[in-house]
């Protein structure tokens, strides 16, 4: 089944409840188009785009007004889009004072064919800030807008990320509704003094599985904003090859059909294989990549005990194994980080795999005859071993579907 990518662009600035509205300076007119990506150079890789801007009051705390930098991020984003951007586009706000709107979230523009001037006019409609920060409600509304739109869609979250109860759950719900048709991006405002908020926004982006988190500081230059728009929303058009003129011949040449190569023998031809060196015996998806579930059952250094907080990961592993009852072999693969001797790490990874296998058999009634525990030591890292976070990610267990026992 083809993967339809979706991106939903969520630009949000978080706030708390305020009793009085705060009038914001009017948005200036559209500037010249010198910073826009040239028309005709790229095509949209999404069918729908929604930008969500947080208009709440928390950015006005401590003598700072972070709403204006957030609004400027949205303005510059709009100025950067090419004039022929083909995705249906919308602009949604939340967190504003009742003087602006009594709704938790309001659609200021769209969903409609993209117009730079109409988008700008929608942004200019925000006159008052000062309400709470219902990012979850805005995400729910965005899911409704995009679910009926069809095709792939595009979200980026720009926010301080504070006091946004339920935002991560709402992002996960949006992903469940739209599936592979949606990606989430976030842009953090004022993150230099806001580590907790930036962490929350990173979780929101991670819920989309195919987007990423960034900051207003990272997009401060026109070049960086252009790179962001290109990466999230655009792709290079496929060139149309001109047909060569062929001189007619009396007899038709004999054309030998050469079957397409499948170097790793996984059933997916090399031209379509995104994982060209799949180990023998592992089942693959339509892209030629191993069908597996990565568990965030991470272990303390030099330990193989499963901590209680990872029970939810074991629940997912059990459900995954039950889902693929027709798979003859399920490999429980354990890994370590790079610290320590290779021989010791090999034994430690085996103990970690066996700990998960035993828990699945004992606590979930999984047939142990289908399961095999393997340790791969410090091989196959998924993150850099140069940082504590990277080493933590490498101390993991994976559930791998196989049609044959690995050699």
Give the mean model confidence (pLDDT) for residues 185-201: 79
What's the CA gap between 66 and 12, in Å, rounded? 11
* pLDDT at residue 401 is higher than 90: no
User: 270-402 adopts what CATH topology?
Assistant: 60s Ribosomal Protein L30; Chain: A; (3.30.1330)
Reported as a pLDDT band with limits 50, 70 and 90, residue 61 is low
User: 8-29+40-235 adopts what CATH topology?
Assistant: Rossmann fold (3.40.50)
In the chain, list all ranges with CATH 3.30.1330.60. Answer: 270-402
Residue 218, both tokens: 């990272």
Between the two ends of the chain, the Cα-to-Cα distance in Å is 29
180 Cβ contact partners less than 8 Å away, ≥ 6 residues apart: 3, 4, 5, 6, 210
In the chain, list all ranges with CATH 3.40.50.410. Answer: 8-29+40-235
* pLDDT at residue 184 is higher than 90: yes
Q: What pLDDT, on the 0 to 100 scale, is given for residue 109?
A: 95
pLDDT tens digits, 337-376: 999 999 999 999 999 899 899 999 999 998 888 888 999 9
- Secondary structure class of 77 (helix, strand, coil): helix
Q: What pLDDT, on the 0 to 100 scale, is given for residue 1?
A: 43
Our CA angle for 145, 183, 89, nearest 5°, is 40
């Amino acid at each position: 089944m083809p993967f339809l990518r979706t991106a939903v662009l969520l630009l949000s600035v978080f706030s708390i409840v305020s009793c009085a509205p705060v009038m914001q300076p009017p948005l200036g007119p559209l500037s010249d188009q010198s910073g826009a990506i040239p028309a005709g150079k790229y095509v949209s890789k999404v069918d729908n785009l929604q930008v969500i801007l947080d208009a709440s009051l928390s950015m006005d705390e401590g003598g700072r007004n972070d709403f204006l930098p957030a609004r400027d991020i949205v303005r510059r984003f709009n100025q950067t889009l090419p004039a022929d951007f083909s995705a249906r586009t919308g602009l949604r706000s939340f967190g504003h004072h009742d003087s602006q709107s009594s709704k938790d979230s309001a659609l200021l523009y769209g969903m409609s064919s993209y117009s730079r001037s109409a988008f700008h006019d929608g942004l200019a409609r925000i006159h008052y800030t000062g309400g709470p920060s219902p990012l979850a409600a805005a995400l729910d509304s965005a899911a409704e807008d995009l679910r009926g739109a069809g095709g792939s869609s595009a979200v980026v979250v720009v926010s301080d990320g504070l006091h946004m109860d339920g935002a991560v759950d709402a992002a996960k719900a949006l992903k469940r509704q739209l599936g592979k048709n949606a990606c989430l991006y976030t842009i953090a405002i004022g993150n230099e003094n806001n580590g907790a908020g930036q962490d929350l926004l990173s979780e929101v982006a991670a819920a989309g599985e195919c987007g990423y988190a960034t900051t207003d500081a990272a997009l401060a230059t026109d070049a960086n904003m252009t790179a962001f728009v290109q990466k999230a929303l655009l792709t290079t058009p496929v060139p149309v090859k001109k047909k060569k003129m062929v001189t007619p011949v009396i007899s038709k040449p004999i054309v030998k059909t050469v079957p397409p190569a499948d170097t790793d023998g996984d059933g997916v031809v090399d031209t379509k294989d995104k994982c060209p060196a799949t180990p023998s015996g592992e089942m693959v998806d339509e892209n030629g990549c191993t069908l597996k579930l990565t568990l965030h059952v991470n272990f303390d250094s030099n330990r193989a005990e499963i901590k209680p907080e990872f029970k939810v990961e074991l629940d997912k592993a059990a459900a995954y194994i039950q889902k693929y009852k027709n798979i003859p072999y399920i490999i429980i693969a354990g890994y370590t980080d790079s610290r320590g001797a290779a021989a010791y790490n090999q034994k430690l990874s085996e103990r970690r795999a066996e700990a998960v296998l035993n828990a699945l058999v004992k606590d979930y009634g999984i047939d142990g005859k289908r399961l095999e525990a393997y340790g791969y030591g410090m091989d196959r890292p998924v993150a850099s071993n140069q940082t504590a976070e990277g080493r933590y990610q490498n101390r993991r267990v994976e559930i791998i579907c196989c049609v044959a026992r690995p050699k």
